[in-house]
Structure formats: structure tokens, C-alpha cells
Amino acid sequence: MRGRSITVLLVLTVGALLAGGAAHLLGAATAAQAIWAGGTAVALLPAIWWVVETVREGRLGVDAIAVLALGGSLAVGEYFAGAVIGVMLATGRALDEYALRRARRDLTALYERAPRTARRYRGGADGAFSGPVETVPVDRVRRGDPLLVPSGEIVPVDGVVREGTALLDESALSGESVPVERVAGEAVRSGVINAGAPFDIVATGTAEESTYAAVVRLAEQTETDSAPVVRIADRYAAAFLPATLLLAGAAWLLSGDPVRAVAVLVVATPCPLLLAAPAAIAAGLSRAARYGVVAKGGGALETLGHARTLVLDKTGTLTSGRPQVVDVVPVPGRDPDEVLALAAAVDQVSSHVLAHAIVHAAAERGLTLGRPYGVHEEPGTGTEGMVGEHAVRVGKARGVREGWERAQRARAALDGAMTVFVTVDGDTAGVILLRDAVRADAPRTLRRLRRAGIERVVMLTGDRADVAESVATVLNVDRVLAERPPAAKVAAVREEAAQAVTVMVGDGINDAPALAAAQVGVAMGARGSAAAAGAAEVVLTGDRIDRLADAMDVARRSRRIAVQSAAAGMALSIAAMAAAAAGLLPPAAGALLQEAIDVAVILNALRALHPAKGTGTKVDEPTEEMLRAFEHEHLTLRPPLELLREVADRLGADPPDAVLPQLRQVRRFLVDDLLPHERAEEQRLYPAVGRLLGGAEVTATMSRAHAEIERLVGRLGRHLEAAEDTGLRPERLDDLRACLYGLHAVLLLHFAQEEEAYFSLAGQPGQDASHA
């Protein structure tokens, strides 16, 4: 309705200006003046209403200057100037409405596609995945309900894949155009589309608790918050009103000509100040939404832009958030599969990333999971519930078997693994060891954030100090705070926030209070909890932490454009006011000049809608496809790398005849699979990356690694050829073992370096993020 009334006002004022101009050209001067006067009066009425609205809000805005200019033009007979001012006001309001509409478009798309219904198996109260399926309102879904997600439909609530593989289109949230697979035990989030065959999920929360609902609430709140730069513009505009009135009065008093006062009022109408800042910030919100970043209004976006301290949770934020179960160690007398099955049964209804890993591991082993009830999750401590007749608790150690638990923690420390202890009926039943790799894009993202203005990076986690330190060493963070429960996390964030503007990034339920304590809380929404998303001012809807760097680039650029537009427009307006006060600029010419100034600065503000280079690296489409292809090959080649270490461990311990077949298998893998991959990188990928990053020198060290890999594979081949003739002789074992260990270490390091330095460039919106 508001947009329609502004359109009508624009049509009437422009029509009056053009009709009056036509009459004037035809020699009907009196008719022209009457038409222009009518156009001025049409604009005066809504302008008066806008002033009344601001007075009701307890302030007197600069719309009052427009009212005085329009009224003054009518009073002194400067009807053409009044008509131009009317067009100027209508044009400014229409441009502002267009900018806001463009800004809301990407955000509106998020909540317009929110799921409304769900397909639940009838008899869902007992968790059965059989029988007829009924369509129910999504708000009737409860945690633990069995749901069917048909092909092409939106996942209604957060859940866990029950069995099989789900193919999901997450492009509307994360910007990733390639569908992703989620296997049994993995989490899926509401709002994504089933791009494959129908699959079943177990709901891990209600619609209100789901992550997508929190994102929708955040999107709706973007219209209710204004940015600091916009509020500053309002204050400057309020101070501008009395200054304008004084100058207009002085010009009239000193010259005795009221037309000079009207001329000052005409060019003083501060549309640049009123419209440029909101337009730029609103455009920034739209641009951020295209990157998969939803901000709670302009205030959150702008504060993000001048943050100086970054506090990051570890699991799911700095690490991949996809930890893998590496071992299940039961206490004497317990079976490892029994321990894993009980833990996974309780964790089926938990949204924690470690819970998803445990459920996934149980599904891979084909374990049957009981249905839990009475489940309670205590953030930062663990989850407990009943499975059959047993009370099961999964989380931190309870000190029941202190010696055994201490020994398991020591073993985990050596392996850099995380520990999840399982307690059954009050007694420790076992421990599950998990390892979570550092995100490949994390080091590059932290470097980008430092270039964007972050001066201090703090890692905050509830994990053990040794695990946290191993991650911090890779990422070069400034401070590590480990073994912190939720209350201590809040205290740490408040301490940092007292020193500088602080951003806190997290994804779990236990991160929610800390997110609320920071000036800007950022939630990883892809697999994060709804509580975290609800407490945050910014949500990253995808599973890429580099989107945070993109958001900071957008925030800084939007604020810079807003200040630039408003300052340039006001400087030109002040110069025009001085000329008008001196009698050098009559009202009609002043109105035309002010109209040109307004249009120019508002169009400049709309530049924030368009992408900029920022701190990212622009990647062309063919190179990005190549990066993704080689990254996929890494995923295939990584698992067999462990065979090198396993065979090296067996050398000297097992009979030579037993080890020789595995050595042949290792060599076949290296010659048939690994070396062709490395040579293809050298011939195709490295030249492309060199052009992208500035020359062949950036890939020189990686090429040297390729040469070392070739050398070690050749050495291994010569050992194997000798073994075929004479067997594995004892004097050759040490060198052969060193060769295998060396290859394993070099390849792991080389893969990690390529993934961090090159593959993390894929999908970076240093280029136009409209793909997202």
C-alpha cells in the first residue's frame, strides 16, 4: 500500500511538471503556472503528513524543510520550483522504496519457502517407520517422530537420516548448486529440498526449534532494526534543520527578498542524508543474503564490519563439524557394539555434531538402535535418557572409574582425539574416541578476516586443552581457552567484549549464551542448533565459515558507501545553499540542481547491491570446476593412504610372506591411482592456480612435494622388485619402513596444504556471489 501511494504521488508530480512545461512551451504561461502550483500542492499534503508522523515519534525531522520549501514556493509564486521539489520528494521516496524492496527480496525468499506441512507415519508415537503416512501441520511434529520426505519436497524439521542415502538440494540456503548426500545417521536441516529418492528421518526437534525457523525469525527482524550509520544520519539531519532555518532567515533579512529564503530551503532539502544511508545499508543486507548470510538488521551488519576481536568455538566452526568415530573402547566385560548402540540410541534425538557422528558410526556397523525416551540434553555436559530398561548417559566422564577414565583420556591426548564417555545405569560402560579435522577453508578465512580488520582471534571450547592446542597451532590463533563450560564461555566473551568490538561464532546449544554476550553473535546454521541461531544476530545458512569474511567485506563496503553518499550529497547541498543565500541560485535552478544531487547520491548508494572484490580471490568457472574435481579425487584417495602406515607397522612384526601381498597392493595404489592424480595436478591444476594467484612461484613448493613423492614411490618400487627376487631381507626392512612412513607423512601434509591453499578457493564469492 505504501509503495502504491508513492507511485501515485510520483505519477502526479511528474505529470504536473511535464504538463506545465508543455503549456509553457505553447505560450499558455498562466495555465503552466496553475498546473505547477497544483503539482506543488499535491506534494505538500503528504509532506505535511510525514512531518506529523515524525512529531508523533517525538522528533522533528528534516521533512519540515521540504514542507517549508513547498509552502514558500507557493507563497512567493515560484511554482515551477515547487513542482520540481515535489518531483524530487516523490523520486527520492520511490528510489528508497525500490532499494528496500530489492533488499527484502532475498530475505523474503527465505521465509516464503518455509515448510508448512510434514508427512508423518501414522503410529509415529511409537517411532514406527511403517504403516500409512498422514500429512500433518508442521507445528504438530514432535522430537522423535518418524517422517517421510518425498522427492521434490522440503524437509520440514531438523532430523537425522534413518537409513539409506538422502540427496539434498541446499542451494536456497547455502548457495551450493551441487546437491549433497547425507547418509544414515547424518543430520539434515529443515528448508532443504529432497533432490533424490524419498527417505525417512527421525525428527530431532519441533518446527519451532529447527534451525530454519530461527533463520526465518532473523530475516523478519531485519526490517525492525536500523544501522548506527542510519541513526547518526538522523541525528545530523535533525541538527541540519535549525541551521537551514537560520541561513534562510539571514538571507531574507539581509537582502529583504523572501525569494532568497525560499531558494535556500529548496536546495537544503536533505534527501541525500535521509535516503542514501538507509538505501546503502539495506542494499548491503541484500548482498549479504546472497552470500548465505542473514543479519538481524543493519545494526548487526555494520557492527560486524568494524569488529576487532573474533571468538570462535572449535567443534563445527573451526573444525569440519563432521567428526569420525575412530574407536570404541569398552570397560572390561562390555562389548564395543553394545556401548556404541546404547550411545547412538540416546544421541538420535540430539543436534550436537558429536551425536551425529556416533549415530552415523552405529548405522555403518548395521547396529539396531532402541527408541529412547525421557531424553534430556544438558549443554556442555551431555545427553541422558532411557533405552529399554537402562538409564544411558553420553558425554563427559563422571569419575566413576577414575583410573580407567584417566588412561583413556591419556590415550586420546596422544592421538589428538575427543572422548565421549558412555554411562549405563550409573556405571561407566566405555568411551568413544572421535577425531575432527580442521576445516580446509579455516586458515584462509582467518587470514582474510585479519585483512578485513580483525586484530585478535580467540578459540573458545569445552574440549580438552591438548585437543584445542593442536587445532590452534594449525590456525595460529592468539589465545586458546579450553575446557570451558557454558558459563565460563559467557564470562570469556564478556571479557573480550569489554576490550574491543567482539564477534562470537558458534553452532551448538552450549554456544547460545556466549553468542548473546558478544556485540555480534554469529551462528553456523547449516548443522548448528536452533538455540544458537536464535541467540545470534547473524546466521551463516551454509556450512562455510568463509561466508563470515564475505559478510565483513559487505558490511565495510556498505557503510563506506553510505557515508560517502551522504557526505558527498550534503557537501553539494551546503555549497548550493551558500550560492542561494548570496542570490546566485534562484529557486527554479536550485530545485533542478538538488534533484540531480539526490538522484546521483541515491544511485551511488545502490552500488552496495553489486558485488565487490573484497578480500576474497576471484575464481573463474573453469578453474572452480577443476578445483572441485581434484578435491573430489582427494576424498577418494585419502582412505587408502592409511594402508601405507599399516603395512609399515607390520614390517618386522609379521612374516615377510604375509606382508608382501600388501606391499604389492600399496604399490598398485601409488602407481595406478596416486601418481596419475599428482601428475594431472602438475600439468593442469598448478598452471591455472598460478595464473589465479600471481605466478608459478606460488605453486613451486607444491611441485617440489610432487618430485619427492615420485622419488619415494620409485624407491619403494625398487625395494619391491628386489623382494620379488630375494624376498624381504632383514637388512632392507628399516629403509623400506622409513620409505613407507615418509610417503605417508609427505602425502598427508601435501594433501592438507593443497586443500587449504587451493581447494578452499572453490566456491569463494570473491567473484559475483549471485551464484549463491
List, by residue number, the catalytic residues. 313
Through-space distance between the first and last CA atoms of the chain, rounded to whole angstroms? 31
Length of the chain: 772
CA–CA separation, 40 vs 37, rounded Å? Answer: 5
Q: Rounded to 5 degrees, what are φ and ψ at 600?
A: -65, -45
Give the span between the Cα atoms of 33 and 17, in whole angstroms: 10
C-alpha cell at 299: 545494526
Per-residue CA distances from 769 to 313, 325, 611 (Å): 26, 35, 7
Q: Radius of gyration (Cα) for the chain, nearest Å?
A: 33
Residues 253, 254, 260, 264, CA torsion sign:
negative
What DSSP string describes 212-271? Answer: HHHHHHHHHHTTS---HHHHHHHHHHHHHHHHHHHHHHHHHHHH--HHHHHHHHHHH--H
DSSP single-letter state for residue 169: E
Task: Give the Cα separation of 143 and 442 in Å (integer).
Answer: 33
DSSP 507-561: -SGGGHHHHHHSSEEEEETTT--HHHHHH-SEEE-SS-THHHHHHHHHHHHHHHH
Q: Would you give the distance in Å from CA 230 to the centre of its chain?
A: 24
Using the Cα atoms of residue 666, residue 671, residue 675 and residue 680 in order, give the sign of their dihedral.
negative
Are 135 and 117 a contacting pair, CB within 8 Å?
Answer: yes
Residues 205, 351 contacting (CB under 8 angstroms): yes
Note whether 191 and 218 are within 8 A (CB): no
Check the CA dihedral 754-760-763-767 and report its sign: negative
